[in-house]
Structure 1
Amino acid sequence: MTDNDAEGLTPLWEHNDPSSTNMYRFMERVNEKHGLNFKTYKELYAWSVTDLPTFWEEVWHFTGIKASTPYEKVLDASAPMFPPPAFFEGAHLNFAENLLFPPSNPPADDVAVFEVTEIDRRTVSWGQLRERVRECQSALQHGLGVRPGDRVAGFVGNHANTLVAALASISLGAIWTAVSPDFGVQGVLERLRQIEPTVLFADSASFYNGKVHPALPKVAEIAADLPSLKAAVIFRSISGLDVDISSVKVLYGEVLTYNDFLQRSRPSELIFEQLPPNHPIYILYSSGTTGAPKCICHGAIGTLIQHKKELFIHGDVGPGSRILYYTTTAWMMWHWLVTSLASGAALVLYDGSPFRSRAVLAKESINGNPVLEQEDATPTSIPDDYAMAKLISELKITHFGTSAKYLSLLEQKQLDPRSHPSLDLTSLQAIYSTGSPLPPSTFRYIYRVFPPSLNLASITGGTDIVSLFGAPNPLLAVYPGEIQAPGLGMAIRAFEPDRTDVTDRGTEGDLVCTAPFPCQPVGFWARDADGSSGIHTATGIAKYRAAYFELFPGVWHHGDFVRFNPRTGPGLVMLGRSDGVLKPAGVRFGSAEIYNVVLKGFGSEVADALCIGRRRAEDADEEVVLFLKMEKGKQLDEGLRERVKRTIRGELSARHVPAIVDECVEIPVTTNGKKIEGAVKQILSGMNIKLSASVSNPECLEFYREWARTH
C-alpha cells in the first residue's frame, strides 16, 4: 500500500442518494423520536456506542424483531463485558420464526431460495421452504425426539437441505453446527466429539470443479466415532447419483436416507419453541491454535439483531434483494447470509467452484419447480472465469459477497465482466469482501470492471462474534484499502499492549471493543472433569475469559492488528492477525491442527514443527509456511515434503496444505515451553517485532530473519 493509499485521500465511491437508504431513515427516526439532530454517520455512531440501551431498542423496533413475550429491560448500562451481559431480558422468541416469517410478509409463491450448483438450478418459494422446514421439524421431534438444547450437526454443503435442517433444528430449540464436506475426518471429529450431537445430517457426495467427490467413506468414519448419535441422516446431494448407506453405522442409533427420515414426520403445524433471548442457536469453532478447536455458542437475539442491523441498516438488504455469499457452511458468513431471510431477501445458495458455473437459467421460476438446462457449449459461451458474474447477471443478484482472495484472483486474471456483451451487472448494488484485507489495487480494479455505482465494502468480524466489527456503510465514501467504518453499536478501538488507546493517532494496535454488544458468545461448550458439559461449565467459562479478556481485562480483545485512519474519519485498515490463526484465501484455521497431523504421522522423522502465516505488504493474500525441525540424522527431502502435504490434505482439507514446507534449526519457545508463533510471523511478514522477555531462546530468531531475506 502506498502512502497516498494509506492516507485514503481519494474516494472511489459515494452513494448518489444517501437519503434513500435504510441507514438514513434510521438516523431520521432516531432524531425525531429522541429530539436529536444527527446529520452524519460519525454523530450517529458516537451516540450508538454511548447510549447502548436506547440504541439497541431502536434497532429492535426498526428491523422488526418478532417475539411472543416483550422484553422487560434492554440492557443494564452498568453491566461489565464479562460475564457476557443479558440483552432484552424477559423476552421470548424463536430465531427460525424470525427468518421464515419476516416483517415484509413475502407472498408464499415468491422465491425465497435459489439453489445453484455447477450443473443445475432450483428455486424454493417461501411457502415451500416453510413446508420443508415443517416436515423436517416433525421428523426431528416425533421421529428422533430432538428437544431444546440438543445439538444437531451437519457434514454438509451449501444447499437448500442444509438450510432446512438448520432452521428445523433451531425452531425446536436445538443447536445447529456444521462442518463442510471438504474437511478430513480428524478435523470433523475434533469438533463434533466435544459437543456430542444427537443427529448428524450428511451429504452423500459433493460436486466441485466438474468432479464428484464421494463423502460416504468419511461419513462412515465420523458416524462410527460419535456414540451420542441417535441417527445419521444422509442427503442424496447429487441428483441421479445412487446412495448406498450400508457402509455407515451408528453405535447406538440408526442410519437413514433423508427420504426415509421424512417418513417419521406427522401431520402437524409448524411450531416455534419460544425461548429466552440468550438461548444458543449455533456452535461455531475456533481455529484450534492452542489445542482442540473451542466450541463457541451464539445466542438467538444477539445473532438476530446484529445480523439484521448489518444487513438491513448497513447493507440495505431487504424485500427485493437477492444475496449470494460464496461460502462454506462452516464459515460464519453462511450464518450471516442465512439471516438475510429475516429482512425479506432471497438467498442464492451456491455450492461448487466459483470458476465452473456453466448451467443456463433460461427463465426464472417463481413456483419452486426445478430448473435444469444443458451447458451452453456454443462459441459465444461465457468463459468459466466469469462464473460468478454470470450468476449475478442471470439471477439479478443485488448483493455479492466473497473472499478477498477471489477478488484478487480476478484482478490477477485481469477479467473485465463489464466488457462482456452477454453480462448485465446493473442489478448489483454491493460487493462484500472479507477473510483477509483487500489490497488497494483490488479496490481500484473492482471499480474499473464492475458497475461504479456499487458499494465495495471490505468488512471484518469473525467466528467469535458471528458478525462484523467493520461494516458496509451507505453514508460514507469508499477509500482504497480501507474498511469504511465500525458498525453501529460496536465500540471498537486500537490499543497498545499497555492499554494506550492509539485510535486517534492512526498507529497500529490490537483491535478491542470497550462496551458490551449483543453478539458476544453466550458461552463456550465444554466439559468439566466431573463429566458435566454445556455452556456454563467452569472449563467453558475459563476458556471464554482467556480467549477475549486475558490481555485487556474488562475489554474484548479480538486478536487483530488494526489502524484507524484519522484523515478519513471512521475508516480503518486491517493489518492481519495478532495470534497464530492462519487465514490463507480467507479460510481460518489454527496451527495446532497442522501440528497434530504432522507430529502424529511423522514423529519418527520430525522432532517439532512451526506453522506460520506470512503476509507481506506486497502480498495479496496470506501464505502458510510450515517449518520442520528434523530428528537427529533425518533430512527434509522432496519426498517427505510431498508426503507431509498429502497427509495434511487427507486428514484436514486441501485448504490446510502449506504453500511452503522447509527445514529449520530451532523453534522459539517461551520459558514454559510454548511455541512463539507471533514473533516469527512478524519477521516473515516484514513487521516490527514485539518480542516478549519470556523467550527462552531468542538467538534462534536470526534463522528466520535470514530465511525472510532470502525467500
Structure 2
Amino acid sequence: MTGHEQPGLLWTPTPESARGTRAADFARWVGRRRGLDFGDPPDYDTLWRWSVEHPDQFWADLAGWSRVLPGVPDDEVLTDRRMPGAVWFPGRRLNYAEQALRWDLAGPALVVVDEDHAPVEVSWAQLRGQVGAFAATLRRLGVRAGDRVAGYLPNVPEAVVAFLGAASIGAVWSSCAPDFGTRAVLDRFAQIEPVVLVSIDGYRFNGREHDRRDVVAELRTALPGLRATIAVPRLHPAEVPAGTLPWAEAVREPQEPVFEPLPFDHPLWIVYSSGTTGLPKGIVHGHGGIVLEERKFVGLHLDVGPGDRFFWYASTAWIMWNISVSALLTGATVILYDGAPTYPDLDAQFALAASTGMTYLGTSAGYLTACERAGLRPGKTRDLSRLSGVGSTGSPLPAAAYRWVYDAVKQDVVLGSTSGGTDVATAFIGASPLLPVTVGELQRPLLGVAAAAWDDDGRPVVGEVGELVVTEPMPSMPLYFWNDADGRRYREAYFEPWPGVWRHGDWLEVTERGTCIITGRSDSTLNRGGVRMGTADIYAAVEAIPAVLDCVVLGVEEPDGGYWMPLFVQLTPGAQLTDELVAEIKTAIRRTASPRHVPDQVIAVPGVPHTRTGKRLEVPLKRLFQGVDPAKAVNKGAVDDEALVDHYIGLAQRRMSREAGRGHVPAPGA
C-alpha cells in the first residue's frame, strides 16, 4: 500500500502480527465452520461485510467461539430483526457475573491503584469470594432478581464487587460517581427506586479530600424505597453512619457465588443519558447482549484477553467504567484507578502504565492532546515495554495527537480512536489490529455494526459529512428506557427521522478508503473528557441563582481537539455580571451538577433565543460557534426572537476573528 493510497500512515500490521490476533483466530474458526475464506491474514472488510450481511451467523459464531452460548442454530439467534424490538437468543440463559468470573488464572483479576498507595493485586479467587459474600448479603436483605442496587462510589474494587454481586442474583446495577451533587444523583436514582445503596463517605481527587457524608445522608432520606445502605469507608474508616451496614460486614464471609441463570435479555444495569431535554433517561441493557458485545469489542477489536492488563481512565458515571470492568469477560486483568487523571503530574497515566505492567491504556482525547501540547515523551521516561494498545474516546482525536503517540509514546502500539456511546455500551466506529492506523481517522465500523453516513434525505454518502446511522440491530442496543412503558421516548431518541434505523447524533464522514472521521455531536450533549452531562443539570443549578433570568450552555468541539464550553446568562434587571456572581454560578454548578462541567466562560447576553415551542436553541447556537454559515445554522423563522440570534452571530464572528488572529481558525462545520 503506497503513501498516496493511504495518506498519513502511522502503523500497519505485519502478516505475522495480524495472524496472531484474536480477530484472526475468530475468522479462521468461522472459516472452518462455514467453509468461508476471509484470507490469510484475514481481510477486515470482507469479514465486516459478512458480519453485517449475516448478523445471525456472526453473532451465533461469536457466541460459539467465545464459549458463551455454544451450538445455537442460526435461526435461533435473531428471530426478529426490527429496531427497536429485535429478539436475540430467545429461550437461552446466562449470567454476566458468571461469565466474568469463570476464569481460573494465575494472574490477578484486579490491580487497584489510587493517588496515595502502591498497586494492590486482587486474585480471581479473592474476587469470586467477595462477590459471593456480597451476593449472600443481598439475598439476606431480601433483594431479588429485578430489584435495583445503586452505587455512589468512585472507581474502587468495592464498586466491582457490588456490581458483580448484584448481577449474580439478577438484581439491576446502577452507579453514580461521588463528584455528582445530590440533585444530579437523585435525578438518576429516584427514577429507578433502588432497594440497596452502596455509598462511599468521601474520595480523594487531585491530592484533596472531598467529604460526601452529607450527600449520602440526603440520598438516604430522599430514597424511601431503600431497605439498606452499605457504607464503604474511605476518608473516615472508624466511623459507621447510624443505620448502615459496614462494607466489611457485607463481605465478611467469602464464598463461591451462586449464579442465577437468567434470560438473555434480563436487565443487567441502568446507565443514563445526558438529560439534555429533561431528566436523564435510564438506559437498560441486558446480560446477554453486553456479554457478547464486550467479548467482541474488548476481545476482537482491542485484542485483549488472558495475560493482558487492561485500563481505561473512567469514573463510575461513564460507560467506559462498565466497559473496563467488562474486560474481565475476556480473562484480562482490570486495572482500577481512583484519582485525578493528571495527579501528581501530567504523565500520571503513563506512570501508572509503567508501574502496573499495563498492556492496554485507554484514555480521553483531551488527555493525549494535553500531553502532546506539553511536549511529554513518556516512551523515553517510562518503561512502556508491555504496552501494545492505546485507546482514545470521549471526543475526536486531533491529528497532532495521533502523530505524538507514535513519536513520543511507542512506535509499535495500535492506536484506536473510537466513537460509540452509553446508549450501546460499546463503539460503533473504532479500531482493529488487522488494519493500519492513519492520521486523524478511525479505522472502520466494528464487526456486526452496520454503520453508515446518511444525508438529510436518508441516502448513504461517502466523502462528505452525514448523520451516523446503524441499519441492523446490535444485541447491546437498549432493552428499553426506564419508566417508558410504551417505548415512545426510546423511539424518539434514536429512530426519528428514520423509523427502523438508529440515528445516533454524531456527524460521520466515510472516506473513499473506508476509514471514518467523526466531527462531533449533532445534538447538544455536553461531552467533556468523555463524561457526558445534559444541559438540564447545568440549568437547574444556575437558574436557582436570583440574579439569573435565563441561560444557555454550549459544548463546542473544536478542530484542534479543544472543547470550549461557554455559559451565556441573561441577568435580571439591574444585575451585573461581577466576578462575585461568576464565582457563585461556577460554585453552584460544581456543587449541584458536576465539577467536570464548570463552564470555561460566563458571558452576559441580552436574552436566550428559543424555538417557538419554548426549547433553547442549543444546537444551532453551537454550530454558529463552530463556524457554520449562519444561514445554514439557524432557521430564524423558527425562533421566538430573531434579534437575539443576530447578537449570537456577532459573538461567534468576533470569536472567530480573535481565534484567527491567534492562528486557530475554526474549520467550517457540517
Q: TM-score surpassing 0.5?
A: yes
1:579 Cα offset (Å): 0.8
Shift of 1:578: 0.7
| Alignment counterpart, residue 61 of structure 2, candidates 58, 72, 75 | 58
In structure 2, give the amino acid aligned to 1:612. L
Question: What residue number does 2:105 align with?
Answer: 106
Change (3 A) 1:213 1:243: farther
**Partner of residue 668, structure 2:** none
Match of 1:168 among 146, 165, 176: 165
Whether 1:309 and 2:296 are equivalent positions in the alignment is yes
* 1:354 Cα offset (Å): 2.5
| Aligned partner (choices 271, 285, 289) of residue 272 of structure 2 | 285
Aligned to 2:532, which of 580, 588, 592? 588
CA deviation after TM superposition for structure 1 residue 385, in Å: 3.0
TM-aligned CA distance change 1:392 to 1:208, over 3 Å? same
- Aligned-partner Cα distance in 1 for 2:564–2:533: 13
Aligned equivalents of 2:397 and 2:54: distance in 1?
32
How much does 1:66 deviate? 5.3
CA distance in 2, matches of 1:467, 1:429: 20
Mapped to 1, the partners of 2:78 and 2:151 lie a distance apart of 36
Q: Distance in 1 between matches of 2:5 and 2:612?
A: 41
Offset, 1:106: 1.8
Q: Do the aligned residues in 2 keep the contact of 1:154 with 1:179 (CA within 8 Å)? A: yes
Cα distance between partner residues in 2 of 1:511 and 1:352 = 34
Contact 2:56 2:74 in 1 (8 A): no
CA distance, structure 2, for counterparts of residue 242 and residue 122 of structure 1: 18
RMSD: 2.0
Distance in 1 of aligned mates of 2:557 and 2:256: 53
* Offset, 1:235: 0.7
Q: CA deviation at 1:698?
A: 3.6
Q: Is the 8 A contact 1:11 1:480 kept in 2?
A: yes
TM-score (norm 1): 0.87
1:656 matched residue in structure 2: 597
Per-residue Cα deviation, 1:462-507 (whole angstroms, up to 9, x for no partner): 11111110122011111111111110010011112221221x2x11
Q: 2:479 aligns with which of 514, 519, 522?
A: 522
1:495 and 1:511 in contact (8 A); partners too: yes
Q: For 1:334-372, what per-residue CA distance to the aligned partner results, in whole angstroms no more than 9, with x for missing partners? A: 111111111111010011123336xxxxxxxxxxxxxxx
Change over 3 Å in CA distance of 1:412–1:228 after alignment to 2: same
Distance 1:542 1:555 in 2: 15
Please tell me whether the aligned partners of residues 86 and 473 of structure 2 are also in contact (alpha carbons under 8 angstroms): yes
Please tell me the residue identity of whatever aligns with 2:469: V
- Asked if structure 2 preserves the Cα contact closer than 8 Å seen for 1:326 and 1:402, the reply is yes
- Secondary structure, counterpart of 1:626 in structure 2: strand
The answer on 1:607 being equivalent to 2:545 is no
User: Contact 1:152–1:176 at 8 Å: present in 2 too?
Assistant: yes
What residue in structure 2 maps to residue 700 of structure 1? 644
Question: Any stretches of 5+ residues in structure 1 without a counterpart?
Answer: 249-253, 358-383, 527-535
Q: Is the 8 A contact 1:585 1:621 kept in 2?
A: no
- CA deviations 1:543-574 (Å, max 9, x no partner) are 111111122211001111111111x32x1111
**Deviation digits for residues 232-265 of structure 1, max 9, x if unmatched?**
1111125xx434344x6xxxxx4122123345x6
Q: Does structure 1 residue 223 correspond to structure 2 residue 223?
A: no
- State the identity as a percent: 36
2:492 maps to a residue whose letter is: A
- C-alpha separation between the residues in 2 aligned to 1:205 and 1:696? 45
Give per-residue Cα distances to partners, 1:160-194, cap 9 Å, x unaligned.
11100100000000001100011111111110000
Is the counterpart of residue 451 in structure 1 residue 399 in structure 2? Answer: no
Which residue identity is paired with 1:215?
R
Aligned to 1:38: 38
Hey, what's the Cα distance between the residues in 1 that align with 2:440 and 2:603?
32
| CA deviation after TM superposition for structure 1 residue 136, in Å | 0.6
- Provide the residue aligned with 1:555 in structure 2: 501
Distance in 2 of aligned mates of 1:260 and 1:435 = 38
For the pair 1:207 / 2:204, whether they are aligned, the reply is yes
Aligned counterparts of 1:416 and 1:220: Cα–Cα separation in 2:
45
Aligned to 2:133: 135
Out of 239, 242, 257, the position equivalent to 2:237 is 242
Matched, 1:115 2:112: yes
> 1:125, CA displacement in angstroms?
0.3
C-alpha distance in 2 between matches for 1:195 and 1:482:
39
Structure 2 contact 60–74 (Cα < 8 Å) conserved: no
Partner residue of 1:188? 185
CA contact (8 A) 1:669 1:696 kept: yes
Name 1:435's counterpart in structure 2.
Answer: 394
What secondary structure, in the 3-state scheme, does the structure 2 residue paired with 1:658 have?
coil
Change (3 A) 1:631 1:255: same
User: What whole-Å deviation, never above 9, does each CA across 1:620-679 have from its counterpart, x for those lacking one?
Assistant: 222111111222333322221111111111111211211111012232222212112111
Give the length in aligned residue pairs.
644
Distance 1:306 1:177 in 2: 19
Distance 2:574 2:497 in 1: 41
Q: Secondary structure at the match of 1:588?
A: strand
Rounded to whole Å, the distance in 2 between the matches of 1:270 and 1:396 is 29
Partner deviation per Cα, 1:579-603 (whole Å, 9 max, x = no partner): 110112222111111111111x22x
Contact 2:110 2:333 in 1 (8 A): yes
Of the three residues 245, 261, 271, the one matched with 2:250 is 261
Report if the CA contact (8 A) 1:72-1:91 is conserved.
no
CA distance in 2, matches of 1:114, 1:268: 21
Residues 133, 630 of structure 1: CA spacing in aligned structure 2 closer, same or farther, 3 A cutoff?
same
1:579 aligns to what SS in structure 2? coil
Once residues 330 and 172 of structure 1 are traced to their aligned partners in structure 2, the CA distance between those partners, rounded to angstroms, is 23
Give the distance between the partners of 1:634 and 1:581, measured in 2 at CA: 29
Task: Give the 3 Å change call, closer, same or farther, for CA 390–27 of structure 1 in structure 2.
Answer: same
The Cα shift of 1:268 comes to 6.3
Asked if 2 retains the 8 angstrom alpha-carbon contact of 1:645 and 1:658, the reply is yes
Is the 8 Å Cα contact of residues 71 and 88 (structure 1) preserved in structure 2? no
Structure 1 residue 481 and structure 2 residue 468: aligned? no
Pick closer, same or farther for the CA change 1:78–1:324 going to 2, 3 Å: closer
- Whether 2:431 is the aligned partner of 1:490: answer no
CA shift for structure 1 position 73: 4.7
Query: 1:303-452 alignment to 2 at 5 Å?
Result: 303-356=290-343, 384-420=345-381, 423-452=382-411
TM-score with structure 2 setting the length:
0.93
Q: What letter matches 2:367 in structure 1?
A: Y
Contact 2:97–2:167 at 8 Å: present in 1 too?
yes
Task: Give the structure 2 partner of residue 512 of structure 1.
Answer: 469
Instruction: Check the 8 A contact 1:71/1:90 in 2, yes or no.
Output: no
Matched, 1:272 2:272: no
Query: What amino acid is aligned across from residue 130 of structure 2 in structure 1?
Result: R
Residue 198 of structure 1 pairs with residue 195 of structure 2: yes
- Offset of 1:8 from its aligned partner? 6.2
Residue in 1 that maps onto 2:573: 632
Partner of 2:664: none
AA matched with 2:250: F
Counterparts in 2 of 1:129 and 1:6: CA distance versus 1, 3 Å? farther
Q: CA deviation at 1:38?
A: 2.1
Which residue of 2 is the match for residue 710 of structure 1?
A: 654
Distance 2:228 2:562 in 1: 41
Give distance in 2, aligned partners of 1:308 and 1:500: 32
What's the offset of the Cα at 1:706? 1.3
Equivalent residue letter for 1:34: R
Change beyond 3 A, Cα 1:565–1:672: same
